[in-house]
Amino acid sequence: MPTPNPTPPPLSQPPGSRRLTQLSKREEIIPTFSKSFGSFVVEVAKVILISLAIIIPVRYFLIQPFYVKGASMEPNFHDNEYLIIDELSYRLGSPHRGDVVVLHNPRRESEFFIKRVIGLPGETITISDGQVTITNTDHPDGFVLKESYLSKGLVTSGTLSTPLAANEYYVLGDNRPSSLDSRVFGPIDRRELIGRTWIRAWPPQRVRAFSGVTY
């Protein structure tokens, strides 16, 4: 009788093959350093792009920060105060009398002034005997502007009468003796106005938001 073939021995793995299989699986689960760093860079780039998409329109079309330099707006605004300027209001509407505005220096575009709007388009501004008189359609005989925000006893120097065109504004500093304003460089075109002073953000003890002035 033929002898039955014995049961073949179980196949054995070559030495080290189990370890290689485990390492292969491990490599699939844990990314290499280069891959993880690349993903990190991509995520950072996404955050930066999204931030810029939000910040740039706000910075250039809605609000801007400015520092006060000089004494032309004392006692209401002092040197080195940090202001937030609202640009949106003047994109949607017109400046009002009493607004404190930031504008381009009409003689040097790269410089900025902070002044107060005194005269509106179509009015005539007269300065005489230390007072400012406004003549317009509602007051054809003129009225003396009562400016409660000025220091007590302060007068507006000069003697002049200036009619304003349909797109012109007359601006003065609150510290009239130390202000370079429309008495010197004349009316301001609407295009030179950047925006109105919205918030004083520094120093902490003088933080406040500004609203319109009632005359």
CB 136 within 8 Å of CB 94: no
Q: Which domain holds residue 140?
A: 63-209
Residues labelled as active-site residues: 72, 115
Domain at 169, CATH number = 2.10.109.10
DSSP helix/strand/coil, 164: coil
- Which pTM was predicted? 0.72
> Is residue 151 one of the residues assigned to a domain?
yes
> Is residue 36 one of the residues assigned to a domain?
no
> Is residue 11 one of the residues assigned to a domain?
no
In which region does residue 149 sit, left (phi positive, over 0), alpha (psi from -120 to 50) or beta (all else)? alpha
> Is residue 173 one of the residues assigned to a domain?
yes
CA distance 69 to 175: 13
Q: Quote the number of domains for the chain.
A: 1
> Is residue 20 one of the residues assigned to a domain?
no
10 Å CB burial of residue 70 (0-12, 13-18, 19+) is middle
> Is residue 55 one of the residues assigned to a domain?
no
Q: List, for residues 3-41, the tens digit of each pLDDT value.
A: 555 555 544 455 554 544 454 444 445 556 556 666 767
> Is residue 42 one of the residues assigned to a domain?
no
> Is residue 140 one of the residues assigned to a domain?
yes
Lowest mean pLDDT among 27-31, 47-51, 163-167: 27-31
